[in-house]
Amino acid sequence: MRPRGRQRPLDAALAYADRGWQVFPCHTPIPAGCSCRQPGCSSPGKHPRPTRGLRDATTDQQSIERWWTRWPGANVAIRTGAESGLVVLDIDPPHGGHTSLGAVVAEHGALPRGRTVRTGSCGAHIYLAHPGVKVRNNAGTKLGPGIDVRGDGGYVIAPPSRHASGAVYAWETRGPDLPAMPDWLLDQLRPPERRAPEPLAEQDRRLGTSSSWAQAALEGELAQVRAAQEGQRNATLNRAAFCLGQVVAGGALDRSEVEGLLIDAGLSTGLGEREARLTVASGLSAGYEYPRGPASQTHRSSAQRAPASPVPTRAELSLPAVDVGGIDLRTIALDGVRDIGATLPEVDL
């Protein structure tokens, strides 16, 4: 036992597992950046060490001891969602989290505070009980900028992990129980009702295909992402985000819902959360510039018009070859995306 000083990551991981929280090891910030040794790693100390990412999360004592014997300094990640019975609100001050939290509290009253972590970026993780219905991850679009929700398909970095800033995640308040999510919060986080914007509802009546077309596009792209192999995961996710960004821009799908589903799918392949979010955000934004939908067929002359297909093929949704000043858009859309887990050997600290 260590009477004082920083708790060993292994001991913390075992204690979390003892509570029924699934854990897995993440990389660790080091003076040179990240223990993954990838130059310019996009999420130092925050991406999973196991290749299957959070799908490897477990409460199994032997697995946990094996991991932290191999990587004694590995950061500790806790899987959120139904598996651990947890939802965590991530308040991130550099992105406006305190301001957004102030607005939320002013409208709805104080959040319950059972267990809170001070994060490495001077923010807070507020731990709440999972309500038993699906709670999607959300990056600042439901509760305001700088408040992220980590629910089903998510994870948080937990004490005594180190942040890239050098700070250590620490418990600020502890409690035996997790408070329930207030009803108003649950309402805010509910997936949006299936809806069609006004002009699209018109189209729907006329074409009768738009919703099923968009839904098929969504399901097809999510399936592609989930089936992606190491080395292809990030490129596939980016491509799917681009294609669905086009459909979102056409008004047939809800952006925040698509974003959440894509991030979940990316995480399920073992990508780190930050990496998945960045990839999805950049792909969606790039695709948003080039709207697509069944209505785009009306641009063709009636002589050229192909029979309306209710299900777009992947080729139909593929990236357009748009030349922007000699730069192929496809290069831009796929730029800056790396598959860290796939290309790097595991490096011990």
Give the Å distances, CA to CA, from 178 to 112, 126, 137, 259, 322: 9, 10, 19, 28, 51
Residues touching Zn ion, count (CB under 5 A): 4
Q: Which of 158, 152, 171 is nearest to 55 (CA)?
A: 152
Measured from the CB atom, the residue of 33 and 191 that comes closer to Zn ion is: 33
Q: In the bound complex, what is the minimum distance in angstroms from residue 344's beta carbon to Zn ion? A: 8
Q: Which of 239, 267, 205, 240 is nearest to 55 (CA)?
A: 267
Least separation in angstroms between CB 19 and Zn ion: 28
Q: Give residues 190-229 in contact with Zn ion (rule: CB under 5 A).
A: none
* Contact with Zn ion (CB under 5 A) among 26, 34, 181, 317: 34
Closer of 92 and 275 to Zn ion (Cβ): 275
Q: d(Cα 83, Cα 217) in Å, to the nearest integer?
A: 29
Cα–Cα distance measured from residue 293 to residue 197, given in angstroms and rounded to the nearest whole number: 13
Minimum CB separation of residue 96 from Zn ion in Å reads 26
Q: Does 280 interact with Zn ion (rule: CB under 5 A)? A: no
| Segment contacting Zn ion by CB under 5 A, of 32-40, 142-150, 194-202, 310-318 | 32-40
Q: Tokens representing 99? A: 């301001």
User: What's the closest the beta carbon of residue 27 comes to Zn ion, in angstroms?
Assistant: 5
- Residue nearest to Zn ion as judged by C-beta position: 34
Under 8 Å CB-to-CB from 106, ≥6 apart: which residues?
none
Tell me which amino acid residue 64 is. Answer: I
Shortest distance in whole angstroms from residue 138 CB to Zn ion:
24
Task: Please identify which residue in 27, 162, 239, 292 interacts with Zn ion, judged by CB under 5 A.
Answer: 27
* Window 35-94: residues binding Zn ion (CB under 5 A): 36, 41
* Ranges of H-type helices in the chain: 9-18, 61-70, 97-108, 183-189, 198-207, 210-227, 233-249, 255-268, 273-288, 329-334, 340-343
Q: Are the CB atoms for 160 and 170 separated by under 8 Å?
A: yes
Query: In terms of CB distance, is 75 or 100 closer to Zn ion?
Result: 75
Per-residue mark of binding to Zn ion, 93-122 (x: CB under 5 A): ------------------------------
Q: Which residues bind Zn ion (CB under 5 A)?
A: 27, 34, 36, 41
